[in-house]
Structure 1
Amino acid sequence: MLIQEVINGIEELAPLTYAEDFDNVGLLVGDKNNEASGVLVCLDTLEEVIDEAIEKNCNLIVSFHPIIFSGLKKITGKNYVERVVHKAIKNDIAIYAIHTALDNSFVGVNAKICEVLGLKNKQVLIPQKHTIKKLHTFVPIKEANKVREALFDAGGGSIGNYDHCSFNVEGKGSFKGNENSSPVVGEKGKTHYEEETQIGITFPKHAEAKILKALFNNHPYEEVAFEITTLENSNQHIGIGMIGELETPQNPADFLKFVKEHMQTECIRHSKLIDKKIKKVAVLGGSGAFGISSAIASGADIYITGDVKYHDFYKAENKMIIADIGHYETEQFTKNLLVEYLTKKFTNFAVVLSVCNTNPVKYL
């Protein structure tokens, strides 16, 4: 199996289209056309992880965080980033990072936190904007069903929990081909009127290339008339953070103990406890202080994240509890998620969970 085939499988789970603009995702080191001997899944690609990959005969590392975040001008080994890249290249090991693409996936980082905490009825906390597009095209009535079904097969017509959605209007189109044209219907040089169906479908932005390929491959006309627009509608399944509900409400102190145990954290920094049972829980893996206002607006009783600064805790304003359980701790189960997914996706291929604890923060 080629490394590119593994990458294709990963990007079905979390298309890179939805990664944040500041991020550096995808294949960072290595040749995508090399045969993959095995995959090692980790949170951070450190030197010890490269050594683990060598020991376990894995020439592809799938890392949550990107080891290369800003530009490298030299690779001389003067810091940990350069040493990792140098050792990976020397040992012909490819490094792939997924980071915020998986953060924004409905079945990604935050869904895993919800699973660990037993949260139900989960929804995206901060939907990503401009992820839904709309296609309009014009097809002869007798060919409309064929084109429409091809667009559905390519991922078009999906809205929330529904698929095969379209809007169709019948009318009369006109066109006149020049001397270089080869019209499917009518004669070149003469204006032709054709009974047509205007097909309108929505689609997720990552599917645009497939949608256009399906359109061009199935549309009968020499020149295909179409238009694509970006919608302002919120996407229920793409975005960062999640909010869910506990099956049974808990007292704040009891729930914090529950979180500490299940999220395997040694320390929880939190704002003042509120005099209310915890039912709605908002979560955001990694550095999530930017999501505090969204968590309050969603009606959350507690917001669980990492890297909260001193003054950010004031923003709770007794409306909810802010709980900082640690950056690593919110994301630590992500590698389990990836291993589970890849093992099911590639049943006869070695997918290995890294045993290296790459948490740079220690507690006394």
Structure 2
Amino acid sequence: MTRIKDIIQHLESIAPLAYQESYDNSGLLTGNAKDEVKAVLISLDVTEQVVEEAIELGANLIVAHHPIIFKGLKSLTGKNYIERTIIKAIKNDIAIYAIHTNLDNVHNGVNKKICDKLELTKTEIIAPKNALLSKIVTFIPMDAVDKVKEAMFSAGAGGIGNYSECSFTVVGDGEFKPNEHSNPTIGKKGTREKVSEARMEIVLPSFLANSTLQALKAAHPYEEVAYYLNSIDNKNQQVGSGMIGELNTPLSGLDFMHYLKDKMALNVVKHTKILDKKITKVAVCGGSGSFLLPAAKSKAADIFITSDFKYHEFFDADGDIIIADIGHYESEVYTKDLIYDILSEKFSKFALNLSKTVTNPISYL
């Protein structure tokens, strides 16, 4: 039996809630995590029409990119589309889960999906986040080093960029004197003991600190485990805003615009002046990305693809870069496919459905 909490656990192993922005509201918004999953509907947004679609499909879980509840609700009277949508979901026992900026911010998330659609290579995050990493330093008797190390790796520690199971170890002498209340693994009560120990250092995501410490203590042979846990300011190259990559074959600005429209199935692109140079480096940001323009410029991007630029912000291209505003919905609609792929790799006992409801609130003539 697969429960909603199993779906949540898998999604958050890919895009942890700790990586969402402070203003966001990702997570389980309605429903009981202990309920069995009958079928899942995957959508970009949640509207009344999407809930109706779930009802028709027999789906009791909607996984959406955008949270239907973004600000605090003081009543549920059906006075607007948000309240009507939530009421309809609750009445029909449909859970709603949102995976928003946490999926934006991971290296294999929304922006990587856009890069894949554009067939970009050598991709990297434009603006990696800092203050997301910690370091554990601990001291282990030599015959237990491998056991403790593997336990910490299994808890999620030891990842640095594209490398996993990273650690640093030096050997030295540890000294301790067990008191009368102790139960020492090595040595005797009341006697100072000197033991050859390994000092091991491992970097980990800060949100995994508690689980990593639990793994350390469970695997460590000592009654009292000595360790230091410190936050570090290093940027986490796997978490952050936007992404930049390269075209295998450079294109003229006009040719790239046609390429962009074809790959992203666009009817229209709002853009600044097309510059007289080849497009090689392409920066992207799903959703509202104008805040990333300075970072895209600093990465020497030839074009920045995003949405929701305001009129005066287009002037900030300043002849250095092309800004291509393709629309919020259009930049993120393939997030549905991304979520589908994430879930289909793990779950096959129930139906996964891509929503056919077009939730774009903007129309073009």
Deviations for 1:37-75, whole angstroms, at most 9, x for unmatched residues? Answer: 111000111000111111101101001000001111111
Paired residues of 2:286 and 2:306 also in contact (CA < 8 A): yes
Aligned residue in 2 for 1:60: 61
Aligned residue in 2 for 1:233: 234
Deviations for 1:112-134, whole angstroms, at most 9, x for unmatched residues? Answer: 11111111111111112122221
Paired residues of 1:260 and 1:268 also in contact (CA < 8 A): yes
Aligned residue in 2 for 1:247: 248
Aligned residue in 1 for 2:16: 15
Aligned 1:62-141 pairs, distance under 5 A: 62-141=63-142
2:162 & 2:75 partners in 1: Cα distance? 48
Paired residues of 2:37 and 2:350 also in contact (CA < 8 A): no
2:86 & 2:193 partners in 1: Cα distance? 62
Aligned residue in 1 for 2:319: 318
Aligned residue in 2 for 1:356: 357
1:324 CA drift (Å): 0.5
Paired residues of 2:244 and 2:284 also in contact (CA < 8 A): yes
Q: Secondary structure at the match of 2:221?
A: coil
Aligned residue in 1 for 2:292: 291
Paired residues of 1:265 and 1:326 also in contact (CA < 8 A): no
100-109 or 185-194, which deviates more: 185-194
Aligned residue in 2 for 1:152: 153
Aligned 1:263-278 pairs, distance under 5 A: 263-278=264-279
TM-score, structure 1 as length reference: 0.96
Paired residues of 1:260 and 1:266 also in contact (CA < 8 A): yes
Instruction: Calculate the aligned-residue CA RMSD, in Å.
Output: 1.4
- Count residues in correspondence: 364
Counterpart of 1:20, as a letter, is E
Q: Secondary structure at the match of 2:208?
A: helix
Query: Which structure 2 segments of 5+ residues have no match?
Result: none
After the TM superposition, which parts of structure 1 deviate over 6 Å for at least 4 consecutive aligned residues? none
**1:309 partnered with 2:310:** yes
1:8 & 1:162 partners in 2: Cα distance? 23
66-75 or 338-347, which deviates more: 338-347
Aligned residue in 1 for 2:177: 176
1:187 CA drift (Å): 2.7
Paired residues of 2:129 and 2:237 also in contact (CA < 8 A): no
Q: Secondary structure at the match of 1:361?
A: coil
36-45 or 204-213, which deviates more: 204-213
1:206 & 1:143 partners in 2: Cα distance? 26
Counterpart of 2:355, as a letter, is S
Q: Secondary structure at the match of 2:29?
A: strand
**1:47 partnered with 2:48:** yes
Aligned residue in 1 for 2:143: 142
Q: 1:350 to 1:206 in 2, by over 3 A?
A: farther
Paired residues of 1:280 and 1:302 also in contact (CA < 8 A): yes
308-317 or 284-293, which deviates more: 308-317
1:267 CA drift (Å): 2.2
Query: Which structure 1 segments of 5+ residues have no match?
Result: none
2:244 & 2:275 partners in 1: Cα distance? 18
1:151 CA drift (Å): 1.8
1:194 CA drift (Å): 2.3
1:80 CA drift (Å): 0.9
TM-score, structure 2 as length reference: 0.96
2:348 & 2:269 partners in 1: Cα distance? 38
Deviations for 1:252-297, whole angstroms, at most 9, x for unmatched residues? Answer: 1121122122212232111122111101000000000000000000
1:188 & 1:70 partners in 2: Cα distance? 59
Counterpart of 1:359, as a letter, is N
1:149 & 1:271 partners in 2: Cα distance? 52
Paired residues of 1:343 and 1:349 also in contact (CA < 8 A): no
Aligned residue in 2 for 1:224: 225
Q: Secondary structure at the match of 2:214?
A: helix
1:53 & 1:178 partners in 2: Cα distance? 64
Counterpart of 2:268, as a letter, is C
Counterpart of 1:94, as a letter, is A
1:225 & 1:252 partners in 2: Cα distance? 59
1:189 CA drift (Å): 3.6
Q: Secondary structure at the match of 1:193?
A: strand
1:101 & 1:132 partners in 2: Cα distance? 16
Paired residues of 1:47 and 1:80 also in contact (CA < 8 A): yes
Deviations for 1:93-145, whole angstroms, at most 9, x for unmatched residues? Answer: 10000000100111111111111111111111111212222110011122222
1:339 CA drift (Å): 1.0
1:335 & 1:131 partners in 2: Cα distance? 27
